[in-house]
Amino acid sequence: MKSLGSIRRSFAPWADPTAVPFIAVKNVTKKFGDFVAVDNLSLNIYPREFFALLGASGCGKSTLLRMLAGFEQPTSGEIVLDGQSLAGIPPYRRPVNMMFQSYALFPHMTVENNIAFGLKQDGMPKPQIAERVDQMLKLVKLDKFAKRKPHQLSGGQRQRVALARSLAKRPKVLLLDEPLGALDKKLREETQFELMDLQQQLGLTFVVVTHDQEEAMTMADRIAVMAHGKVIQVATPPEIYEAPNSRFVADFIGDVNIFDGTVSSAGPGTVEIATQTGFTVRVASSDAPAVGAKIGLAIRPEKIRVSRDEPACAPLNAAQGEIWDIGYLGDMTIFHVRLKDGKVIKASSLNAVRAVEDPLGYDQQVWISFDENAGVVLKD
């Protein structure tokens, strides 16, 4: 069997212009009274994709998911699933199933009856239902709990029942609304990988809504970062992290330092920026902005080095400051370095060795520096 990694690496239907999207969201707008929850949004999701809608609460991600499920109807625009328009199709006739944030398990039914619920609605013969329920219980490793009621299960077990129930009908698309939100951190991390394995194993299309960027980064093939009812960027996790298309995305995903400045010169493939902080940076940029343009430069903390000695690249891509704060996290240490103009920069360094002789301490004068390809130019 091919390892998960190799399948994943070759999986990029969005890069193929001939690929037909499985779910096409076309110019969808959803208004609640005057409030625009989803604003002229378009998206393509491909078969077998694990797609994440990521954003803060109120960004419209849940409304979009509920429109896919059929609980809300778009005010305008259209959603097409597998070549069929979903307009006017009620939730109970859609080939999609949803796993609810609250799990929404039926409290008056046993685990097996919860899982069998959807199958009974379809009029599946009893022996087949029993077989399918058995299969689902094994899939989520709950075969011993078939006769229990939801209130007799732990949070993690309930989450699995909800998952089994939403998968039992073999939907074309599984919608997951904050699927791991109610679990504690350890369990959440475990379950993330289980969900990914399950999705690969069943070959289904998953659309997950989450506000947890780590969750989205770990599980998804592509992430749509949303704000104010619009998609800001759709890309793979590495692209989202390393090449955010806007200040919003750079700031929303992970930690970032943003230097504001003006383009002072633009060479082939590189730009030089005079930052407001007072030093000059030279970064690689494929499309050079015009000289004099006001831009931002985003640099992730782990790409900034902190050293006592003046780096070789100085005065380019280097600035002096003093250590303002130190956060020791075990696997890494986060330095807050205060530059001469008062701007505080975050830099993190991996603690690859157990004991460092003469570690950096508070109030020490240091240099920060970074490579030419460390930063991303943000034009907005």
Of the candidates 107, 203, 268, 361, which one interacts with other proteins according to CB under 8 A?
107
Residue 152 as a binder of other proteins (CB under 8 A): the answer is yes
Q: Please, which of residues 41-70 interact with other proteins by CB under 8 A?
A: 69-70
Helical H runs in 169-317?
A: 185-202, 213-219, 237-242, 247-252
Shortest Cβ distance from residue 118 to other proteins (Å)? 3
Among 41, 53, 67, 98, binds other proteins (CB under 8 A): 98
Nearer CB in complex with other proteins: 101/364: 101
Question: Closest Cα to residue 274, out of 244, 319, 330, 242?
Answer: 319
The smaller minimum CB distance to other proteins, of residues 30 and 247, is found at 30
* Cβ pair 55, 215 in contact under 8 A: no
Shortest distance (Å) from residue 196 CB to other proteins:
23
Question: Strand ranges (DSSP E) for 123-215?
Answer: 173-177, 205-210
Kindly tell me which of 23 and 319 has the beta carbon lying closer to other proteins. 23
Neighbours of 250 (CB within 10 A): 25
- Closest separation between CB of residue 38 and other proteins, Å? 18
Q: How far apart are the first and last CA of the chain?
A: 46
User: In terms of CB distance, is 2 or 151 closer to other proteins?
Assistant: 151
Give yes or no for residue 106 binding other proteins (CB under 8 A): yes
**Torsional sign, CA 296, 297, 299, 304:** negative
32 forms part of the interface with other proteins (CB under 8 A): no
For the chain, state the CA radius of gyration: 25
Q: Identify which of residues 168 and 219 has a Cβ nearer to other proteins in the complex.
A: 168
Q: How far is 337 from 54, CA to CA, in rounded Å?
A: 30
# residues contacting other proteins (CB under 8 A): 29
122 forms part of the interface with other proteins (CB under 8 A): yes
329: tokens are 């996290």
Distinct helix (H) and strand (E) counts, the chain: 9, 20
How far apart are alpha carbons 156 and 227 in whole angstroms? 30
Residue 110 binds other proteins, judged by CB under 8 A: yes
Contact (Cβ atoms closer than 8 angstroms) between residue 211 and residue 178: yes
Q: Which of 102, 128, 201, 276 binds other proteins (CB under 8 A)?
A: 102
Question: Which part of the chain contacts other proteins (CB under 8 A), choosing from 47-55, 98-106, 182-190, 282-290?
Answer: 98-106
- Which region among 75-83, 87-95, 259-267, 285-293 touches other proteins (by CB under 8 A)? 87-95
How would you class 270 by CB atoms within 10 Å of its CB: exposed for 0-12, middle for 13-18, buried for 19 or more?
A: middle
Among 2, 108, 186, 354, binds other proteins (CB under 8 A): 108
Q: Does 121 bind other proteins (CB under 8 A)?
A: yes
Contacts for 303 with CB less than 8 Å, ≥ 6 apart: 370, 371, 374, 375
- Give the footprint of other proteins on residues 188-247 (CB under 8 A): none
Pick one of 91, 156, 254, 311: the residue that binds other proteins (CB under 8 A).
91
Q: Which of residues 237-296 bind other proteins (CB under 8 A)?
A: none
Strands (E), the chain: 23-32, 35-45, 50-54, 76-81, 84-85, 96-99, 173-177, 205-210, 222-227, 230-235, 257-267, 270-275, 280-284, 294-299, 305-307, 318-328, 332-339, 344-350, 365-369, 375-378
Q: Which stretch binds other proteins (CB under 8 A): 47-55, 104-112, 297-305, 327-335?
A: 104-112
Can you tell me which of 148, 172, 228, 305 binds other proteins, judged by CB under 8 A?
148
Least distance to other proteins, CB of residue 371, Å? 49
CA dihedral 241, 247, 251, 254 (to 10 degrees): 10
Contacting residues toward other proteins, per CB under 8 A: 69-71, 90-92, 96-98, 100-102, 104-108, 110, 117-118, 121-122, 147-149, 152, 165-166, 169
